[in-house]
Amino acid sequence: MLSKNQIKFIKRLGQKKYRLAEGYFVVEGVKTINELLQSHFELHQLYTTESFNIDAKTENLISEADLKRISFLKTPNKALAVFNIPKPNQVDCEGLIVALDDVRDPGNLGTIIRLCDWFGIKDLVCSKQTVDCYNPKVLQATMGSISRVNVSYLDLSSFLNKAQLSIFGAFMDGDNVYQAALPDKGILVMGNEANGISKTIEAEINKRIAIPRFGNIQVTESLNVATATAILLSEFRRTQ
């Protein structure tokens, strides 16, 4: 049985201010929880309908009805875990880094974290206005990749200004990425869904790149930020 306080504690972790205050986040689903258990993430409490065979102090066997009361999902997936939010590591400037300038959509951030994991990007640097990576909707889209990518929330302008690296930015009117020389060390900046890269951040960028449009070039559409990140990361990596 869950106490009222337990339910309240978990539900509050859906909000960023409580996550920051408490230092915990919630993750759901057997597969993702298992991946995090095998990582450096520290488990606080597990609520599950089927035992994970971990120590009884941390594991709470609960009914499906109880799981429904604490879950953030429409269809809860057997288990919900509360983990400690780890302190991010120092950004490692020896490889390719992805930086996000106010990406707001949780699904986009989740997809970008998963892409970083796939393409071996160790560090994702986010502006402070970027959606929180411990938001339940972000975690649902990352599928465990969150344990393999170091996500830091920094003053992006000052970080870029101090970084001794080439800084690439994705713009609609940048140079054709297929013809650009892409190093294996540098920073790739992706902008906000509606406004792209802000003027302040643009000032720090050395090289403006774009994905050419092959369809009707009269149409002023842009690619979604997550699919654009997929294509650009693939371009950076394929040359290695």
- Which residues here bind a copy of itself, judged by CB under 8 A? 107, 111, 114-121, 143-145, 148, 178, 211-216, 219, 221, 223-224, 226-228, 230-231, 234-235, 237-238, 240
Nearer to a copy of itself, 189 or 228 (CB): 228
Say which DSSP state 148 is in: T
Two tokens at 33?
A: 């929880």
- The nearest distance, CB 186 to a copy of itself, in angstroms, is 15
Residue type, 167: I
DSSP collapsed to 3 states, 60-88: EECCHHHHHHHCCCCCCCCEEEEEECCCC
- The nearest distance, CB 60 to a copy of itself, in angstroms, is 28
- The nearest distance, CB 111 to a copy of itself, in angstroms, is 6
- The nearest distance, CB 165 to a copy of itself, in angstroms, is 19
* Residue that has been written with the tokens 């880094």 in this structure: 97
Identify whether the C-beta of residue 189 lies closer than 8 Å to the C-beta of residue 168.
Answer: yes
- The nearest distance, CB 162 to a copy of itself, in angstroms, is 27
Nearer to a copy of itself, 86 or 107 (CB): 107
> DSSP alpha helices (H): ranges in the chain?
4-12, 16-22, 30-37, 64-70, 106-118, 136-142, 156-162, 199-202, 225-238
Nearer to a copy of itself, 45 or 222 (CB): 222
Nearer to a copy of itself, 70 or 232 (CB): 232
Nearer to a copy of itself, 200 or 234 (CB): 234
Residue type, 218: Q
